[in-house]
């Protein structure tokens, strides 16, 4: 992967490199767990996607001067994200049949298999994280801190908390402040952790890490707002998943709260706030800024 400030080229290169790593770890899962659980893990990992979170890991790593091969480290975040999608799609959660243009994991296999596959992907992500850290020669204390960042974001204080709030909000009146809090946890926490992992891998100090975290948090919120807009305005062919689910399930969302135009403007505002957190850092933030622009200009 060559250094580039062109986000489209960078994302394409990230997808190619990360997909190669995910296929490898999916094959290991098949060997370890067999059918059907190992096959369900491989199916989930190999599902096509934007790979935004790994891209943010790599962009944060490069912005802070990292020059090693951090692709496997970045892939660990995508394993966590993939696990969350497997469980998010289950009938007891959002009950989705389509994800990334393919049947969801529980539709391709069955509910029990999808549940177990998701659970087993969490420790698998830790193996990928450790392998990526070893490839970069990171010291144990740095890897430990990175593990805390990743699993705190994925756990009860982040992604899981946000999912609980999302389920509890169905059919209820939710304030804009509550909606923002929900999605800073459900979506924003893992996106923020992604760019923080890259910065930590490159040896960033605490002050820089906190500014990078703030950048990621605002990008994560902008990403979710755009997701809500796309859910309300695009087709299943364009999205690769079932549109209109938020309205059908009476979920709290930014389009319902702000309207399409208001939500679109809010996404732009949060992306701008994200970039503001980079202004005073002694880094080349071009690629991170470009990824913030991608988040608000994407169409799927």
Measure CA 135 to chain center.
Answer: 22
pLDDT at 275 exceeding the cut of 60:
yes
- pLDDT for 95 equals 87
Q: What is the Cα Rg of the chain in Å?
A: 18
1 assigned to some structural domain: no
In terms of DSSP bridges, do strands 102-103 and 98-99 run parallel, antiparallel, or are they unpaired?
antiparallel
Q: How far apart are CA 220 and CA 85, in angstroms?
A: 16
99: enclosing H helix or E strand: strand 98-99
Q: What CA dihedral angle connects 215, 218, 219 and 223, to 10 degrees?
A: 170
Q: How far apart are CA 287 and CA 30, in angstroms?
A: 36
Predicted structure pTM score: 0.93
Q: Give Cβ neighbours of residue 35 (< 8 Å, ≥ 6 apart).
A: none
206 assigned to some structural domain: yes
pLDDT at 242 exceeding the cut of 70:
no
Q: How far apart are CA 163 and CA 171, in angstroms?
A: 15
What are 258's two structure tokens?
């702000």
The parent domain of residue 106 ranges over: 7-297
What's 36's domain CATH number?
Answer: 1.10.600.10
Residue 116: Cβ-neighbour burial (10 angstroms; 0-12, 13-18, 19+)? middle
What are 216's two structure tokens?
């990621």
Q: How many domains does the chain have?
A: 1
Query: What pLDDT band is residue 217 in, cutting at 50, 70 and 90?
Result: very high
In this structure, are residues 132 and 76 in contact, taking their beta carbons and an 8 Å threshold? yes
Query: What pLDDT band is residue 299 in, cutting at 50, 70 and 90?
Result: confident
pLDDT at 46 exceeding the cut of 70:
yes
- pLDDT for 3 equals 42
pLDDT at 237 exceeding the cut of 80:
no
Give the number of residues written for the chain.
Answer: 300
289 assigned to some structural domain: yes
162 assigned to some structural domain: yes
170 assigned to some structural domain: yes
- What's the angle, vertex CA 157, arms to CA 154 and CA 158, rounded to 5? 45
pLDDT at 4 exceeding the cut of 50:
no
271 assigned to some structural domain: yes
Q: What is the mean pLDDT of the chain?
A: 92
Measured between alpha carbons, how far is residue 292 from residues 217, 220, 261, 298 in Å?
11, 9, 19, 10
3-state DSSP assignment of residue 172: coil
pLDDT at 170 exceeding the cut of 90:
no
What is the rounded average pLDDT of the residues 27-47? 97
pLDDT at 248 exceeding the cut of 80:
no
2 assigned to some structural domain: no
What is the rounded average pLDDT of the residues 186-213? 96
pLDDT tens-digit profile of 74-89? Answer: 999 999 999 999 999 9
Instruction: Express as a percent the part of the chain with pLDDT over 90.
Output: 79
pLDDT tens-digit profile of 99-130? Answer: 878 999 999 999 999 999 999 999 999 999 99
Nearest to 134 by CA among 125, 124, 142: 142
Query: What pLDDT band is residue 203 in, cutting at 50, 70 and 90?
Result: very high
Question: Which is more confidently placed, 145 or 237?
Answer: 145
216 assigned to some structural domain: yes
pLDDT at 1 exceeding the cut of 50:
no
């Amino acid at each position: 992967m060559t250094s580039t400030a062109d986000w489209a080229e960078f994302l394409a290169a990230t997808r190619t490199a990360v997909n190669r790593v995910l296929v490898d770890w999916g094959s290991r899962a098949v060997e370890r767990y067999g059918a059907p659980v190992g096959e369900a893990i491989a199916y989930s990992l190999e599902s096509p996607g934007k790979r935004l979170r790994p891209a943010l890991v790599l962009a944060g790593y490069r912005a802070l001067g990292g020059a090693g091969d951090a692709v496997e480290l970045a892939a660990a975040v995508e394993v966590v994200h993939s696990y969350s999608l497997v469980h998010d799609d289950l009938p007891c959660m959002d009950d989705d049949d389509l994800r990334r243009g393919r049947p969801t994991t529980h539709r391709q296999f069955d509910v029990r298999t999808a549940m177990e596959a998701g659970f087993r992907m969490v420790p698998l992500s830790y193996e990928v994280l450790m392998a990526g850290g070893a490839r970069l020669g990171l010291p144990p204390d740095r890897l430990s801190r990175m593990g805390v960042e990743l699993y705190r974001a994925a756990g009860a204080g982040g992604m899981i908390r946000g999912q609980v709030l999302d389920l509890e909000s169905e059919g209820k009146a939710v304030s804009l402040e509550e909606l923002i809090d929900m999605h800073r946890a459900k979506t924003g926490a893992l996106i923020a952790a992604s760019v923080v992992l890259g910065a930590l891998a490159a040896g960033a100090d605490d002050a820089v890490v906190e500014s990078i975290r703030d950048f990621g948090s605002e990008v994560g919120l902008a990403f979710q707002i755009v997701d809500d807009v796309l859910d309300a305005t695009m087709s299943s062919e364009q999205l690769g998943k079932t549109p209109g689910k938020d309205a059908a399930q009476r979920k709290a969302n930014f389009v319902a709260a702000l309207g399409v135009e208001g939500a679109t403007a809010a996404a732009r505002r949060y992306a701008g706030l994200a970039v503001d957190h980079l202004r005073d850092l002694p880094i080349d933030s071009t690629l991170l800024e470009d990824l913030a622009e991608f988040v608000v200009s994407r169409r799927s």
